[in-house]
Amino acid sequence: MQLFQYHDTASTMIPPALQLQEICDYICEFLYSSPAELRAWALVSTAFTPSAQLHLFHHIDLAKYGRTGNTGNAPSASRGLCTIMAGSPHLIPLIRHLKISFAEDVLGPLTQVLLTHVETIVLRAPSPHHLQSHTVSSLAAPLLALPSVRRLTLGAIVFENIQSLHALFRQRTSVSDRLTLHYVDLYLWGPMGAIAEGTGTQQHLRVKELEIAGPDRHSDWLDHPLSPFNFSALESVDIWGPIVGIGNTPSWQTPSMWPSQFQHVSLAYEFVFIRCSRYHFSI
């Protein structure tokens, strides 16, 4: 295999020229964080289209607000995305990270598209302290049940009760590599009735890695008999904030109850960071 070309009139070695597609790929990779410029380059030549689409559809954000508090027309964006996927189904496998507003008008259109390659799903409340009903959980359940999804994040969601939380995961059967719960809580907390028929078995969602952050409130519902979470396969826990239950301590917070494969726990609260593993503990 010839790695270099020799110029006829000079003894210097000249590296082979880049192919056109390689140049287009390098340009799009440089512009990956600028969707407007990627779309513009895709219109310049069809040579830019595959690489531009790869970056444009890899990370889809359909959340109404983000860390900066900016609002957007998430329902319209959701309908627009579904229209694009219906006309260009070859783009569906490009979607790997999906951030969605946990709202009926955003989730509804997505039920019409089978997203085959999504690996990460982030669900955020459409507004702070927005109470989520059983109906919205049922709409999101098919998305979270996709076998390609390995990482799940719930952000700033307040569920009406534990039945609403359970309905969100009722169709998921595969193990989740990572579950992240940021300021997730239950509005109604106390004695619960039985889970309704057809909503799956109790504690059926096996989790390998768990990250939780939240206010100084009870977290016992994570280990409640009606909770969908199964921590028997847990390997890692990261805790940010004073979320330890005031009453009974959940089993996943008790070292003696940790499964044999457990690797580490990280605790961060009031500028104190603690890391603990099976072989090492330090403060």
- Record the pTM: 0.77
Least trusted range by pLDDT, from 72-76, 110-114, 147-151, 187-191: 187-191
Residues 6+ apart with CB under 8 A from 241: 213, 214, 215, 216, 268, 269
Residues 130 and 44 in one domain: no
pLDDT at residue 95, as a whole number: 96
Total tally of structural domains belonging to the chain: 2
Residue 81 phi/psi, 5-degree rounding, is: -60, -45
- For residues 239 and 84, the model is more confident at 84
Residues 150 and 265 in one domain: yes
CATH code assigned at 139: 3.80.10
Query: What number of helices (H) and strands (E) belong to the chain?
Result: 7, 16
> For 115, which DSSP code?
-
The answer to whether residue 77 is domain-embedded is yes
Decide: 42 and 77 in contact? Cβ < 8 Å.
no
Average pLDDT, stretch 171-199? 71
Range with top average pLDDT, 81-95, 174-188, 226-240: 81-95
Residues 46 and 156 in one domain: no
- For residues 223 and 246, the model is more confident at 223
Decide: 14 and 4 in contact? Cβ < 8 Å.
yes
Please choose, from the candidates 180, 185, 160, the residue with its C-alpha nearest in 3D space to the C-alpha of residue 236.
Answer: 180
What pLDDT, in 10s, does the model give residues 141-162? Answer: 999 999 999 999 999 888 888 8
Residues 46 and 71 in one domain: no
Residues 244 and 131 in one domain: yes
Q: 22: pLDDT confidence band, cut at 50, 70 and 90?
A: confident
Residues 106 and 42 in one domain: no
Kindly write down the DSSP assignment for every residue of 58-114, as one continuous string.
Answer: HEEEE-SB-TT--B--HHHHHHHHHHHHHH-GGGGGG--EEEEESSHHHHHHHTTS-
Q: With 0-12 CB in 10 A as exposed, 13-18 as middle and 19+ as buried, what is 14?
A: exposed
Residues 120 and 255 in one domain: yes
Of 5, 38, 56, the position where a domain reaches its end is: 56
Amino acid at 32: Y
Q: Is the pLDDT of residue 12 over 50?
A: yes
Residues 159 and 270 in one domain: yes
Residues 39 and 75 in one domain: no
Task: Give the structural domain span for 19.
Answer: 15-56
- For residues 106 and 11, the model is more confident at 106
